[in-house]
Amino acid sequence: PIKIAPKRPRKLRLLGEFILGFVVDID
């Protein structure tokens, strides 16, 4: 599932921070 977590260092941290300001967590 695709989770959006506030400021969580993960795989797609750059992707999320760059676009959304969130961390997009794909498990």
pLDDT at 17: 62
Tell me: the pLDDT tens digits for 2-24? Answer: 666 665 555 655 665 666 655 55
Contact 1, 25 (CB under 8 A): no
pTM, rounded to two decimals: 0.20
Going from N- to C-terminal start, the domains of the chain cover 1-27
